[in-house]
Structure 1
Amino acid sequence: MKTLPLRQLAPLVVAPLLFALVTGLDVANAAAPSAIAAPVAPGAPVANATSFENSEAARVQAPPSGRAAATASPLYRTGTLPSVNCQAGQIRAGSAASYRTFMTRVTRCLNLSWKTQFRKAKLAFSQPRLRFTTTRVNTPCGRWPSSAGGLYCSANRTIYIGVTRETLKNPYAPNHAQFMAHEYGHHVQHLAGIMRYYANSTARAGAAGKLAFSRRLELQADCLGSAFLRQISSSLPVEQEHWDGMVRWVYANGHKNWPKNDHGKGRSQAYWMDRGFDAGSPSACNTWTAPSGRVA
């Protein structure tokens, strides 16, 4: 794919860099997914299926509970994400079909990458649902935030992606891939038990505390998304000079759609994006133990 000249980057990154999380307050929805037995071929001995289920059960463990889910996640010890050959194609300006195809392909790459990472962490994994919409639909988690181009709802484990005329003006693939990877990062947080800790903590916090927890959650999703983007950078592709241009834009503008500062200042977003991209690993993304100045 031919990448765009750097001078064209700034006006193109505006629309998709609008991230959001909507999480249900019913923390029962944050439980790890139930194991699903693999289908057994006709005539196969039942003992074989039982052995498979037992081995899978022995391999998977429950994520840590409480604060440890966020501060000491097994994902932080899994090394770099796998390098996935993610040739998602091109987005044609104004083409909703090409946008949906691109984002669907990136999601498949995310599924492959994070499935491997969860296996290394010995945590249960399940794919999120993906829904494209041309309107700001209501979700089981509540109303669509006005500033958001997309969102993740933990109640039904669904990533909602808005397909709007404004979004389709921007065909710059790495920007949209980062957007999708950020929303997928919230699904990762949900499966790892981090979102359960976040929901419980914000339920007890005051106004300032809620914003502080939200920033740690959102900035971690920035970092996780960027770690993934690094590992597909050769096939998408994402050239270093264009990545640097994206980060500079976020530094100057990333906070402007979030007047309550629930996603972090532009410099904080840029810092965690760079950390994730440089490392290509969740180990760089522990925002929960970072000093307050890094998640401001």
Structure 2
Amino acid sequence: MVTDSALSDELNHPRMLESLAIGYSYHVQQLGGILREERRAEAKMSKKQRWALSAKVSLQNLCLTGAFLGSVWDSLSHTKAYGTDLIIDWKSVEGDHKEHGKAKNRVYWEQRGFDTLRPGACNTFTAPAGRVA
């Protein structure tokens, strides 16, 4: 399903790796009960509260994605600066979304995971409101 041309540029622009990491991060959130609790909590929330919760879960996912990417980045012969450039480029192009957070916050959380390499740095549920909008 993946074309040769898509694979030929993957080492220089690892979008498929990021996509796989995002999927795996949702799997981690599922195993940890975070997605189950999100669904449970949403049943009692207003639409505005559901958007806010969805943004926290999505931003946490990006932070976990960044932690994974940062952990394998050197093995791809990339510099950390190059990773930062790609994260900023990828997330800022996508714009703001209620359910996924503002572009600047998506950059912040993925970069936080990328820099710390620690899932424990990804607690969006205790973060200041401005960081999870």
| TM norm structure 2 | 0.87
Distance 1:213 1:233, change over 3 A: same
Q: Which residue of 1 aligns with 2:102?
A: 265
Matched positions, count: 131
After superposition, give the CA deviation of every residue in 1:184-221 in whole Å (9 maximum; x if it has no partner). Answer: 11110000111111111112111101110110111111
Task: Mark the runs of 5 or more structure 1 residues left unpaired by the alignment.
Answer: 1-94, 100-167
Residue number among 63, 72, 93 corresponding to 1:232 in the alignment: 72
* Residues 238-277 of structure 1 aligned to structure 2 (within 5 Å): 238-255=78-95, 258=97, 261-277=98-114
* Residues 87-166 of structure 1 aligned to structure 2 (within 5 Å): 96-98=2-4
Q: Secondary structure at the match of 2:110?
A: helix
Runs of 4+ in 1 over 6 A off after TM superposition: none
Contact 1:186 1:221 in 2 (8 A): yes
Q: Sequence identity of aligned pairs in percent?
A: 33
1:223 deviation in Å? 0.5
* Structure with bigger gyration radius: 1
**Are 1:282 and 2:122 counterparts?**
no
**Using the alignment, how far apart are the partners of 2:120 and 2:76 within structure 1?**
23
Output the aligned Cα RMSD: 2.2
Q: Which residue of 2 aligns with 1:197?
A: 37
**Using the alignment, how far apart are the partners of 1:177 and 1:287 within structure 2?**
23
Q: Which residue of 2 aligns with 1:216?
A: 56
* Greater strand proportion: 1
Distance 1:225 1:237, change over 3 A: farther
Q: Secondary structure at the match of 1:234?
A: helix
**Using the alignment, how far apart are the partners of 1:228 and 1:169 within structure 2?**
20
* Greater helix proportion: 2
Residue number among 1, 4, 10 corresponding to 1:172 in the alignment: 10
Task: Mark the runs of 5 or more structure 2 residues left unpaired by the alignment.
Answer: none
Q: Which residue of 2 aligns with 1:20?
A: none
Distance 1:251 1:97, change over 3 A: closer
| TM norm structure 1 | 0.41
